[in-house]
Amino acid sequence: MVSFSHRMEKVTGSAIREIFALLARPGMISFAGGNPNPKTFPCEDVAAITAELMETCGGAVLQYGGTAGLPALQESVCAYAERKGIRAAPEDVVILSGSSQGIDLVAKILLNEGDAVLTEAPTFLGALQTFRTYGAEPAGVAMDDDGMVMEDLEQKLQSTGAKLIYTIPSFQNPTGRTLPLARRKRMVELAKRYGALILEDDPYGDLRYAGQDVLPVYALDESGETVIHLGSFSKIISPGLRVGFAIGDRRILRKLVIAKQGVDVHTSNLSQAIVDAFIRSGRLWPHIKACRAFYARQRDAMLEAIERYLRGKIRYTRPDGGIFLWASLNEGEDALALFQKAVEANVAFVPGTHFFPDLSGKNTLRLNFSMCSPEMIEEGIRRLAGLM
């Protein structure tokens, strides 16, 4: 008889991954996942870069490497981050196997059993699972149309004594909302006042289709000691390469590197070298521009379909970027029940309750617009409208 650790008792499988099992059904239209569209992957560039790397330095990139990452990529990350308003030295950067690894490593080095972690309500399901794995207790902070409500954040900091605030401030998963600059500044102020760290998760920040860029939370922390910034190349180059990064205080990063050594030794050197070469080639920012144009058309197709078929039936966000929008049914209606009917009609989404620390939000749902064609988006929304 297998005896599992106590810390796994509160951890369940990902509802989204379980939904994926339904997606192989013929004719299924899926708004459930969060994958970038393969049409945006720079396959030819990656193939050419890989061939050149194998010819010029194959022995090096196929060898073991330093846990903190390739020095060349650390430098490239600094240049990339500077365009977003972040000033960092290579010593302030650790390369990760996807930014999700950063959530896990930060939780590992900071959290004890029973510690409170404050998150947006709703928030990224993977983060909730990770925090619970380490015995922490996620607590939701209220959101409005502009993201996390700072008054509620202060109240929760006072009542829970939380040492960590987890936020996705730009095009948040699952709501698509973006935290305004004033609230970002206030979050830093509150974190300093109550002795908490901010874990800023920013995998979608480059995918802006409307409005003005907002400085990352990290850039607003003059001390450099209050915010850990997580970034990723998954949505703008390739998720399969598994390359992300953390920028933060060097004392924290030293502990993070020690924790990473026991997990994967280091992120794939070949993947790191591919990303570094792509950045240095000057192709990254033109590629991001093309990704923005592609996903803007996807978003517009979903918004237009919702306006055509679901006007007055749901409330929904109109995100300025990212790959998700968030919808609410009328109070008292059940998105889980709608999901069961939707699957029978070969259309899938994620019921919103899974994204809340307390499993509230029974009338909410997340819709992803990155993967389906505009024609399939319209058909899927039409099917949902028929069910409602």
b/e 118-156 (16+ beta carbons within 10 angstroms → b): bbbbbbbbbbbbbbbbbbbbbbbbebeeebbbbebbbeb
Q: Note the pLDDT tens digit of each residue in 193-207.
A: 999 999 999 999 999
The whole-number pLDDT of residue 10 equals 61
**Whether residue 225 is found in the same domain as residue 205:** yes
Same domain, residue pair 93 and 208: yes
Round to whole Å and give the CA distance between 86 and 388: 45
- Span 149-175, average pLDDT: 98
* Strand ranges (E), the chain: 29-30, 93-96, 116-120, 137-141, 143-144, 147-148, 164-167, 197-202, 227-232, 244-247, 315-316, 324-328, 347-348, 350-351, 364-368
Left if phi > 0, otherwise alpha if psi is -120 to 50, otherwise beta: which for 221? beta
62 with 191, same domain: the answer is yes
Asked if residue 148 belongs to a domain, the reply is yes
Task: Indicate if 366 and 225 belong to the same structural domain.
Answer: no
Give the CATH number for residue 275: 3.40.640.10
The Cα-based distances of 273 to 43, 68, 76, 206 in angstroms read 15, 14, 11, 21
Q: Would you place residue 27 in the very low, low, confident or very high pLDDT band (cuts 50, 70, 90)? A: confident
Which two three-digit tokens encode residue 124?
């990224």
What is the distance between the alpha carbons of residues 369 and 41, in angstroms, rounded to a whole number?
17
Backbone φ, ψ for residue 133 (5° rounding): -60, -35
pLDDT of residue 26: 81
State mean pLDDT over 145-158: 98
Q: What is d(CA 44, CA 42) in angstroms, rounded to the nearest whole number?
A: 6
Domain finish residue from 253, 280, 307:
280
Do 302 and 374 have their domain in common?
yes
Per-residue pLDDT tens for 53-109? Answer: 999 999 999 999 999 999 999 999 999 999 999 999 999 999 999 999 999 999 999
pLDDT exceeds cutoff 80 at 123? yes
Into how many domains does the chain fold? 2
Q: Are 303 and 252 members of one domain? A: no
| Same domain flag for 268 and 292 | no
Query: pLDDT digit string (tens) for 267-296?
Result: 999 999 999 999 999 999 999 999 999 999
Q: Return the SS3 of 139.
A: strand
The residues that bridge with 367 in the sheet, in sequence order, are: 325
Tell me whether residue 17 is in a domain: yes
Structure confidence at residue 9 as a pLDDT band (50, 70, 90): low
Cα–Cα distance measured from residue 321 to residue 77, given in angstroms and rounded to the nearest whole number: 22
The answer, yes or no, to whether residue 187 has pLDDT greater than 80, is yes
> Do 10 and 29 belong together in one domain?
yes
Q: Which of 254, 206, 204 is CA-nearest to residue 228? A: 254
Q: What is the CATH number of the domain that holds 371?
A: 3.90.1150.10
Residues 23-41 have a mean pLDDT of: 90
pLDDT(6) > 90: no
User: DSSP for 48-65?
Assistant: HHHHHHHHHHHHHHTS--
Tell me whether residue 37 is in a domain: yes
Q: What percent of the chain has pLDDT over 70?
A: 94
Confidence (pLDDT) at 14: 55
Do the domain assignments include residue 264?
yes
The radius of gyration of the chain's CA atoms, rounded to the nearest angstrom, is 21
In the listed set 222, 250, 280, which residue is the last one of a domain according to the structure?
280
Residue 108 lies in a domain: yes
Q: Indicate the residue type of 351.
A: P
The pLDDT of residue 15: 60
* pLDDT exceeds 60 at position 13: no
- The predicted pLDDT at position 25 comes to 77
User: Please, which pLDDT band fits residue 175 given cuts at 50, 70 and 90?
Assistant: very high
Same domain, 305 and 359: yes
Nearest residue to 237 (alpha-carbon basis) of 296, 281, 301: 281
Q: Are residues 255 and 275 in the same domain?
A: yes
Looking at the domain assignment, is residue 1 inside a domain?
Answer: no
Question: Tens digits of per-residue pLDDT, 329-351?
Answer: 999 999 999 999 999 999 999 99
Q: Is there a single domain that holds both residue 193 and residue 94? A: yes
List the domain range (segments joined by +) for residue 269: 44-280
Return phi, psi of residue 256, to 5°. Answer: -65, -40
Instruction: Tell me if the bond preceding 374 is cis, omega within 30° of 0.
Output: no
Residue 12's pLDDT band, with cuts at 50, 70 and 90, is: low
Same domain, residue pair 242 and 357:
no
Q: With pLDDT > 90 as the criterion, what percentage of the chain qualifies?
A: 92
pLDDT confidence of residue 17? 60
pTM of the model: 0.95
Last residue of a domain, one of 220, 255, 280: 280
